[in-house]
Structure 1
Amino acid sequence: MIDFRYHLVSIVAIFLALALGIVLGSTTLSGSVTDTLRRQASAAAKSANDARQQQRQMQHQIDGEERFAGGLAPQIVADRLKGQSVVVIETPGASNDSIEQVSELAKNAGAAVTGRVTVQKKFLDDDQVESVDELAARLKPEDLDLPGTAGAYEKAGAVLASAIVTRDAAKSGREDATGGAVLNGFRQAGYVTTSGKPGQHATLAVVIAPSAPYGEGGEVDNKALISLATALDAADRGTVVGGPFTAAQEGGLIKALRDSDAEKSVSTGDMVDTASGRVVTILALQNELSGKSGHYGIGSGVGGYLPSPAPTAGKNG
């Protein structure tokens, strides 16, 4: 006959077996999960390492292509702007390196660089609109016709353009009293500074866009600068607005221009901070001489990285 002690021992044995099974099962499960996590972590580390190697390889390739484009750029653009002259317009926040390098490449292309006009932030300040309008009205040359609906910056752009660019080959390379008075008036107002001799009336203009979009009120500032670029293009043989890719993103000057009516007449390039992008800027100027406007680079609204077909070397319109 089975006594109580036997039942007690049996029950204890069952619970011990159950506990042992739970311990063994959890240990096995824990080891399986750990092994899986180790494999996943190892695979992730390998993928990250592969990605780093690919990134380094791509950067080496980009660096090589940049050196290649930079080394051959003077030969590629040689004589494409022969007989022309270029004025460079610096907007607030533009890269000085881009300005210097575009100017140098324009010289390699056979153009004379008359000088630089640096637009000051004061010109774009909200509280200056009335003063800008009054200055434009006071300095406007007698032979310059302005539409009655023109706003302050449209007037100012046209007046300033009349002092620094021209379509008339006979006027190119010459300074005159009227243009000198315009530049002096804008300088005295604190709206621009100048270097070189921008009053010599260039036949082409390059506007270097801000490297980063303006903050609050940026839309209004962009419209003011677009008015200036449009006025330059109307008064010369061609204008190109160049900037880095950031200028072609939301809020940037190039993006705003491509979304405006000015996109039909003013060319743009959004890779001017690269050697190849600066070559494209020269090709765009060459196309402008033939009456062809376009938008180039990698941002939205472009027709390609460069003009297609590319203008023929030695043909400058």
Structure 2
Amino acid sequence: MYNLRYHIASLAAVFLALAMGLVLGGLAVGRGALDDQQQALVEGLRKEFSTLRTQNADLSAANEMLSDFARQSNDAWAPGRLQGKSVVLLAGTGRTDGVQAAQRDLEDAGAAVVVVTLLKPGLGVDDEAVRSRVESLTGEREDLAASVAASLAAEWRTEADGRPLTELLGAEGVLSAPGIDAQGTVFGVVDLASIDGKPDPSALAVARAFADAGGTSVGAQTTNAGTGVAAAAADAGLSALDTLDTQVGRFTLVALFSGGEPGYYGYAAGTKAPFPPIPGTD
């Protein structure tokens, strides 16, 4: 009986060992297969990363080449395009990063640039003292803000001596317009003004009134501004661009003031194209 028990125990131990061997062997094989899969995945990702890194380097080189080409093309095409023309840049109390770029691009093309900064919302007509003086000057009482916008546009579009409304609003701290008295007829207006990250409605009203008075008005913003100034100008029926701090924007701005096809240009939703056709090539 002892021997039988011992034999049964031995057989059980053998079967248990065999079962354990099968389980452990299966786990080892499974772990080996998993390791192989992980290694294959890592190797695949490494190859893909290497390919992407090469493509990124190629794209960077191509982008640098195109940027250099655009800069040299602008350097050859833009100078003198706006010679003898005066352009007003409308800035606000919000973001002003586009002002420097616009002034540089326009002056490189030969334009005389004046920056007019709107310091008070609503062109100051909510201030009773300002309102009273403006009413006395313009004779208008109804929709005074619209009247002020139209009057400013009319003043800038003439070569008459003195610009009384501009001077009055400057004296009242409503706007700042250094150098505008030295300009004759203003040819164009660029609306760059924003308040609290949104388009300044007063600046847009002046730009729209200026276009109605026979001038050229353009709404503009830099690529990362996010103010919506360009889209608001386009909605108001003006030409616009949202690429002001690029070589594409440089060309577009000058083109719109030198006979280029009107429209909303850039990369945002609703734009007509990245840039207009070169003026005179149609």
Normalising by structure 1, we get a TM-score of 0.74
Residue equivalent to 1:301: 270
Greater Cα shift, 22-31 or 81-90: 81-90
1:32 and 2:33 aligned: yes
1:255 and 2:231 aligned: yes
Could you tell me whether the CA contact under 8 Å between 1:209 and 1:253 is conserved in 2? yes
1:182 and 2:182 aligned: no
State how 1:29-68 maps to structure 2 within 5 Å: 29-68=30-69
Amino acid at match of 2:279: P
Cα separation, 1, equivalents of 2:254 and 2:147: 28
State how 1:212-251 maps to structure 2 within 5 Å: 214-215=196-197, 218=198, 221-247=199-225
CA-CA distance at 1:268 after TM superposition: 0.2
CA 1:136–1:143: 2 relative to 1, 3 Å:
closer
CA-CA distance at 1:32 after TM superposition: 1.0
Deviations, residues 208-258 of structure 1 (Å, cap 9, x unaligned): 355xx945xx4xx543432232123223520111212345x5x62222333
CA-CA distance at 1:19 after TM superposition: 0.8
Q: Which runs of 5+ in 1 are unaligned?
A: none
Task: Report the structure number with the largest CA radius of gyration.
Answer: 2
1:303 partner SS:
coil
Amino acid at match of 1:139: V
1:196 and 2:193 aligned: no
Could you tell me whether the CA contact under 8 Å between 1:87 and 1:198 is conserved in 2? no
Task: Give 1:274's match in structure 2, choosing from 243, 246, 268.
Answer: 246
Cα separation, 2, equivalents of 1:56 and 1:190: 52
Cα separation, 1, equivalents of 2:136 and 2:55: 59
CA 1:281–1:32: 2 relative to 1, 3 Å:
same
Cα separation, 1, equivalents of 2:148 and 2:54: 53
CA 1:224–1:197: 2 relative to 1, 3 Å:
closer
CA-CA distance at 1:30 after TM superposition: 1.0
Amino acid at match of 1:203: F
1:271 partner SS:
coil
Cα separation, 2, equivalents of 1:300 and 1:205: 24
- What is the percent sequence identity of the aligned residues? 20
CA-CA distance at 1:273 after TM superposition: 0.4
CA 1:93–1:204: 2 relative to 1, 3 Å:
same
Normalising by structure 2, we get a TM-score of 0.82
CA 1:95–1:75: 2 relative to 1, 3 Å:
farther
Cα separation, 2, equivalents of 1:79 and 1:283: 12
Deviations, residues 108-132 of structure 1 (Å, cap 9, x unaligned): 434333x111233x4269xx7722x
State how 1:41-120 maps to structure 2 within 5 Å: 41-96=42-97, 98-113=98-113, 115-120=114-119
CA-CA distance at 1:185 after TM superposition: 3.2
Number of residue pairs the alignment of both structures matches = 279
Greater Cα shift, 35-44 or 223-232: 223-232
Could you tell me whether the CA contact under 8 Å between 2:154 and 2:213 is conserved in 1? yes
Q: Which runs of 4+ in 1 moved over 4 A?
A: 140-146
2:126 partner SS:
helix
CA-CA distance at 1:8 after TM superposition: 1.4
1:245 partner SS:
coil
Deviations, residues 285-315 of structure 1 (Å, cap 9, x unaligned): 2237xxx63111121222212223x3228xx
CA 1:145–1:253: 2 relative to 1, 3 Å:
same
CA 1:44–1:256: 2 relative to 1, 3 Å:
farther
Q: Which runs of 5+ in 2 are unaligned?
A: none
Calculate the aligned-residue CA RMSD, in Å.
Answer: 3.3
Amino acid at match of 2:251: V
Could you tell me whether the CA contact under 8 Å between 2:88 and 2:188 is conserved in 1? yes
Could you tell me whether the CA contact under 8 Å between 2:87 and 2:187 is conserved in 1? yes
